Amino acid sequence: MSFKCKIGLHSWDGCKCSECEKTRDEQHDWSKDCKKCSNCGKTRDNQHDWTKDCEKCSTCDKSRDNQHNWSNDCEKCSKCGKTRENQHDWSKDSEKCSVCAKTRETQNRNFKNDDFKDVPFIKIGRQVWMTKNLNVKYFRNGDPILEAKTDEEWRNAGNDGTPAFCHYENNPANEKKYGKLYNWFVVNDPRGLTPDGWIIPSEADWQELISFIGRTDSSLKLRTTSGWAFDHNGNNISGFSCLPAGNRWLSGSFGGINNCSNYWNSIEFGNNNRAGVISISYLEDEVRFGDYIKGYGYSVRCIIGDTAKALKTSSENFKIDNLSLKMVQTSESDQTIKNKESDQNLMIEWVEIPSGTYTMGSFSSEVDRQSNEMRKQITINAFKMSKYAITFEQFDKFCTETNRVKPSDDTWGRGKRPVINVSWFDASAFSEWIGGRLPTEEEWEYACRADTTTPFNTGENLTSLQANFNGNYPYNNYAKGEYIGRTLPVGSFPPNSWGLYDMHGNVNEWCRNRSNEAIASHTIRGGCWYSSASRCRSAFRCSACSDLCYNSLGFRVILPL
């Protein structure tokens, strides 16, 4: 007599009842093989999942014979989006692929454009710059950039935010000599304007260039020795070779050829209709930084994005992403910069700062506390810090060896006085030259405090016998002191308990931290010769534009251990 299982009496052995051999769907296990249940061996109709990858099932990893579909596009499979190495077939028709009928116009023209067969460039300091203005009409992905010839076309592109280019007065001869003029929407387009390996320089990149060649007469140092109006030519000692390419206004009219050259940088300002511009004019000896309407037509220069890669190559030529580049000139030796810590000529004395954890910032009860002095616990690794701020004597030797213009001492004297009138870029360049770096502000405050928690490392007060600051403005109603009105030689006052001198007053000191990404500014700490005592506190924080050179700004260097 046959036995029939009743509800609740089945004994399931995998997918099948051991009593009546009835199967149930919810018990199947397809995880190991899309075609067969691992429990009962039953096959299923809806099997492999090829949706994510034409070559392999996303469920069982089994491969299949008929894989990618290249019929619609030689560059990408229409099923899974995967690209392939051997792409278009131009053998039958140089203008059109015989497989997909796509034309060469949509290919990546940056690599085929004659302008990039031998790209002239130059190493200036730590950077590698093109010595010609950009002259491409395709984005890096192959899409063409709109050429706006008429005034109306140019105005419409600028007002609509459409990427567009032109050449001065639509004259091909100008394009060949000066390159193209682009609106900023081209520069910022995600499809990419520059060849692989190159980038649009930021304002900070331009500031580093100007800082390296010296701000005084910087326009002259970048301009070519001929071609400028009224023979106001430059000396081009930088090798940058700036030509007066002119510009195009939003109205569509042209102007400025032979007189000026303006370059877009990559920074967009808070006002979304303006972006950063660097201006070089025959009327001015120094480069100007500003911001202008995005619909204007300006030139573009590029720098190599991976500077470290560039510096490791020979001085003759190297390859970047299939672009053969030709070195035309070099302004600095390509040899590896050695660590000059032991160079006795610099006479830098070092203090070892121990590792430890401290609380950065100030107590809420501290007099004159600022809102940006929030308390937070910071752990610091050990490092060495220069005992004194870097002096004129030391920085002048750096300038001599690197062919830099020496900063002014404001007639106060050089020698053992702290160097002043140096930008953040100058300070960073010196630090790297000796194999060190600027301290972060966390490291700076840790070293300044030297295990103290009071407003100053001297205690609750700072007097004119302990630091060089404006004694007319004492802290917390203490007695007034002397105001000297200039810097003093380093080490004129007692050190803190860790042996560091002048951490309060004398000169504000550049730190490594960037305080504002949009306008290129960095943190400064310590107060200076004209600061009130309050602004010399250990926790006091402020910042300055990174290119600022002022008689209150100096720095010291650290060497990580």
| CATH assignment at residue 447 | 3.90.1580.10
Residues 383 and 502 in one domain: yes
Are 294 and 391 in a shared domain? no
Neighbours of 60 (CB within 10 A): 17
552 to 71, 382, 524, 547: CA distances (angstroms)? 68, 28, 10, 14
Tell me the three state secondary structure of residue 50.
Answer: coil
State whether 242 and 117 are in the same domain: yes
Residue 83 lies in a domain: no
- Say yes or no: 246 and 366 in one domain: no
Q: Give the pLDDT of residue 124.
A: 85
Give domain status of residue 310, yes or no. no
Shared domain check, 373 and 230 = no
Q: By the 8 A CB rule, do 106 and 80 touch?
A: no
**Res 118: pLDDT:** 57
Say if strands 274-281 and 508-516 run parallel, antiparallel, or are unpaired. unpaired
**354 within domain boundaries:** yes
Per the listing, tokens 């099948």 go with 16
403 and 468 part of one domain: yes
Task: For residues 8 and 69, give the distance between their C-alpha atoms in angstroms, rounded to a whole number.
Answer: 51
Which of 284, 304, 324 is at the close of a domain?
A: 304
Provide φ and ψ at 83, rounded to 5°. Answer: -90, 165
d(CA 167, CA 27): 71
pLDDT at 312: 40
Average pLDDT, consecutive stretches of 10 residues, N- to C-terminus, the chain (561 residues): 53 67 68 74 71 73 70 71 64 65 48 50 85 91 93 95 94 91 94 87 86 85 92 90 95 93 85 85 88 93 68 36 34 33 69 96 96 94 96 94 89 97 90 90 96 97 97 96 97 97 98 68 94 97 90 95 83
154 is a domain residue: yes
553 is a domain residue: yes
User: Could you give the number of structural domains in the chain?
Assistant: 2
Q: Are residues 295 and 161 in the same domain?
A: yes
Q: Are residues 171 and 264 in the same domain?
A: yes
Tell me the pairing of strands 164-166 and 146-147: parallel
Flag whether 239 is in a domain: yes
Give the end of a domain, one of 248, 273, 304. 304
Task: Verify that 260 and 394 share a domain, yes or no.
Answer: no
Same domain as 250, residue 157: yes
> Is residue 185 assigned to a domain?
yes
Q: How many CB atoms lie within 10 A of CB 58?
A: 12
Instruction: Indicate the residue among 271, 304, 337 that finishes a domain.
Output: 304
Q: Are residues 377 and 292 in the same domain?
A: no
DSSP string, 244-311: -EEEE-TTS-EEEETTEEEEEEEEEPSSTTEEEEEEEETT-SS-EEEEEETTSBBB---EES-HHHHH
Query: Do 244 and 372 fall within a single domain?
Result: no
Quickly count: other Cβ atoms within 10 Å of residue 558's Cβ: 22
In a domain, 446, yes or no: yes
Domain that holds residue 118: 111-304
